[in-house]
């Protein structure tokens, strides 16, 4: 089969499934194959089930199969990821949006006023900031990142989706409060939080291909980004303003102590849909 020869949808799915089966359990391998074929062919995922015998011709199919077999995340191969019901462009150097982060966004939407002023720190693809801006058109949403690839991706996604977000370069460990003086009603962040010692246990498609700077922190200072953002938040948040963090499930109690030490009140640690501690929510006194 050449790189652009027609094949049935079923054949395309089966070819990718067989190629990635060594990397995933059978159910996940099938899910990766279906996602890849649907996105690369520009068809609805349901069409793979309703008409599997229809012909499909995918440009550069062999290359896509090779990348998937080499462990590249399907979102990097297709160039897109779904988040909160919308399609976001993603590429190398930009963290892939996760379903768990949708729960963080949902909490902010439930808690904050329609016209709230919100800052997303470490915006990556812009999925958090863009979703907040689109779900709450009256809100004033800003986003920060330090990585050029992330800033470019976030700007492109916000432009494509029509999300009004003020995006600026800022270092969460340095000049955040200077670049975004506030006052903000809420600061939300999904910063790097995986201890370096846990890197070897991660799935290779994450460990070897997603940006290490957006994932890993030193074992001896695992809360470094949270602490820096919390300290900046004391200057940037209005009195009573909220701080929302996506957190590492093993760091829940350390996070609670750190936020208390930094002077935050009403600290709550919330579980995700899998029952793991995933969100820290607190308020500035």
At 80-114, the pLDDT tens digits run 999 999 999 999 999 999 999 999 999 999 999 99
Q: Does the pLDDT of residue 210 top 60, yes or no?
A: yes
- Say what percent of the chain tops pLDDT 90: 95
The torsion angles phi and psi of 49, rounded to 5 degrees, stand at -95, -35
| Confidence label for 285 from pLDDT (cuts 50, 70 and 90) | confident
Which tokens hold the place of 233? 């938040």
| Confidence label for 61 from pLDDT (cuts 50, 70 and 90) | very high
* Greater pLDDT, 5 or 228: 228
Mean pLDDT for all residues in the chain: 95
pLDDT at 182: 87
At 138-179, the pLDDT tens digits run 999 999 999 999 999 999 999 999 999 999 999 999 999 999
CA separation, residue 133 to residues 66, 118, 138, 213, 224 (Å): 37, 9, 8, 26, 28
pLDDT at 1: 40
Looking at CATH, the fold of the domain delimited by 91-284 is given as: Rossmann fold (3.40.50)
pLDDT at 6: 79
pLDDT at 141: 98
pLDDT at 4: 58
């Amino acid at each position: 089969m050449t790189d652009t020869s027609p094949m049935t949808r079923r054949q395309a799915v089966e070819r990718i499934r067989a190629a990635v089966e060594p990397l995933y359990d059978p159910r996940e391998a099938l899910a990766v194959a279906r996602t890849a074929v649907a996105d690369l062919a520009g068809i609805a995922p349901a069409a793979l089930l309703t008409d599997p015998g229809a012909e499909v011709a995918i440009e550069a199919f062999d290359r896509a199969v090779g990348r998937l077999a080499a462990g590249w995340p399907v979102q990097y191969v297709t160039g897109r990821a779904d988040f909160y019901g919308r399609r976001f462009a993603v590429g190398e150097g930009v963290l892939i949006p996760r379903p768990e982060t949708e729960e963080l966004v949902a909490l902010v939407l439930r808690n904050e006023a329609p016209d709230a002023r919100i800052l997303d720190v470490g915006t990556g693809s812009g999925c958090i900031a863009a979703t907040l801006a689109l779900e709450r058109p009256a809100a004033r949403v800003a986003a920060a990142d330090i990585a050029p690839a992330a800033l470019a991706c976030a700007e492109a996604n916000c432009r494509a989706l029509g999300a009004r977000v003020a995006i600026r370069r800022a270092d969460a460990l340095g000049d955040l409060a200077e670049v975004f003086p506030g006052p903000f009603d809420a600061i939300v962040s999904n910063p790097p939080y995986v201890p370096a010692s846990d890197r070897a246990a991660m799935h290779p498609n994450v460990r070897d291909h997603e940006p290490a700077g957006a994932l890993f922190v030193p074992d001896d200072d695992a809360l470094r980004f949270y602490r820096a953002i919390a300290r900046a938040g004391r200057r940037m948040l209005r009195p009573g303003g909220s701080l929302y963090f996506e957190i590492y499930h093993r760091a829940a109690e350390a996070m609670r102590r750190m936020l208390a030490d930094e002077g935050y009140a009403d600290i709550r640690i919330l579980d995700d849909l899998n029952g793991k501690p995933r969100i820290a929510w607190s308020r500035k006194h």
